[in-house]
């Protein structure tokens, strides 16, 4: 019985691939998360998010971790793209502020505990980067040098199979793993060096307004999760005081 299932699976793979080129698969993903029209994302002018996250220095020890967390932290994120402010808290009631990150048009400002503020020029913006993953994929799809369907990749731990789509542009490379059944984006890799041992996993898709959004994102290296974020609350097109993005020196 098991052998017959394996044989059946081998015959199903060409059927999944036939008639569906890479662009068609990506467009099915974009349509599904965008309520049928990728242009819908342009309606979002601001977002407010409350999240819980964790970063493990032990699981990914490449640089000094200023926060040195021994438990999860909580955050509020205010965005009027491309400006964004992230406030980090030690508690779920958002009373104990421990860090602030300003990502402004001309500056990046990092404030952590008693460490003097780190202020530096904002890095050059990649034309494809956006607050929302579907918009980034859409931009890449339209301006890519090449896009190919590399086959189907199984993720046994998660029990899913995904179309592996590789998109290349002059300034960005991206590998997308789109679920063969749901056509949702399950994983991605956006490293310039193409090191596929690094993956971002998108999970717990929920309907937010007109959109399907993953409420959980996990960063993995060789299958080990070293950073995760679970969104507890997402609000779209909320009023955000412009003063929120103004850093005041003491």
110-154 pLDDT, tens digit per residue, is 999 888 999 999 988 877 888 899 999 999 998 888 899 999 999
The predicted structure's pLDDT at residue 194: 66
Cα–Cα distance for residue pair 54/9, rounded to 1 Å: 38
What's the pTM value of the predicted model, to 2 decimals? 0.83
Q: What is the DSSP letter of 118?
A: E
Q: Where are the domains of the chain?
A: 21-242
Q: Which of 139, 122, 117, 121 is nearest to 130 (CA)?
A: 139
With 70 as the cut, is the pLDDT of residue 90 above it? yes
The predicted structure's pLDDT at residue 145: 86
56-64 long-range Cβ contacts below 8 angstroms, 24+ apart: 56/225, 56/226, 56/227, 59/221, 59/224, 59/225, 59/226, 60/221, 60/224, 60/226, 60/227
- pLDDT grade, residue 72 (50/70/90)? confident
Q: Which of 139, 144, 111, 141 is nearest to 125 (CA)?
A: 139
Cα–Cα distance for residue pair 153/60, rounded to 1 Å: 25
3 state SS of 5: helix
User: Do 166 and 187 touch, CB atoms closer than 8 A?
Assistant: no
Count other Cβ atoms within 10 Å, centred on residue 140. Answer: 23
- pLDDT grade, residue 229 (50/70/90)? very high
CATH code of 21-242, in short, is 2.50.20
With 90 as the cut, is the pLDDT of residue 177 above it? yes
Helices (H) and strands (E) in the chain — how many of each? 3, 13
- pLDDT grade, residue 6 (50/70/90)? very low
Using left for φ > 0, alpha for ψ between -120 and 50, and beta otherwise, residue 225 falls in beta
């Amino acid at each position: 019985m098991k052998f017959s299932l394996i044989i059946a699976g081998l015959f199903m793979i060409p059927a999944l691939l036939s008639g569906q080129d890479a662009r068609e698969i990506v467009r099915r993903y974009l349509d599904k998360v965008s309520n049928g029209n990728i242009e819908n994302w342009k309606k979002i002018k601001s977002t407010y998010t409350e999240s819980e996250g964790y970063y493990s220095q032990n699981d990914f020890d490449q640089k000094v971790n200023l926060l040195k967390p021994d438990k999860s932290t909580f955050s509020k994120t205010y965005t009027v793209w491309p400006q964004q402010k992230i406030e980090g808290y030690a508690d779920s009631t958002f009373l104990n502020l421990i860090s602030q990150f300003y990502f402004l048009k001309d500056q990046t400002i990092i404030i952590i505990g008693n460490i003097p503020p780190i202020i530096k020029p904002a890095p050059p913006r990649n034309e494809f980067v956006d607050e929302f993953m579907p918009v980034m994929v859409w931009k890449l799809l339209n301006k890519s040098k090449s896009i190919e369907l590399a086959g189907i990749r199984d993720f046994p731990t998660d029990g899913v199979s995904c179309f592996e789509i590789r998109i290349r542009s002059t300034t960005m490379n991206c590998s997308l793993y789109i679920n063969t059944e749901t056509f949702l984006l399950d994983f991605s890799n956006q490293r310039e060096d193409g090191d596929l041992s690094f993956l971002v996993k998108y999970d717990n898709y929920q309907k937010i307004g007109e959109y399907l959004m993953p409420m959980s994102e996990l960063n993995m290296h060789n299958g080990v999760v070293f950073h995760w974020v679970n969104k507890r609350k997402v609000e779209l097109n909320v009023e955000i005081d412009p003063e929120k993005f103004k850093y005041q020196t003491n």
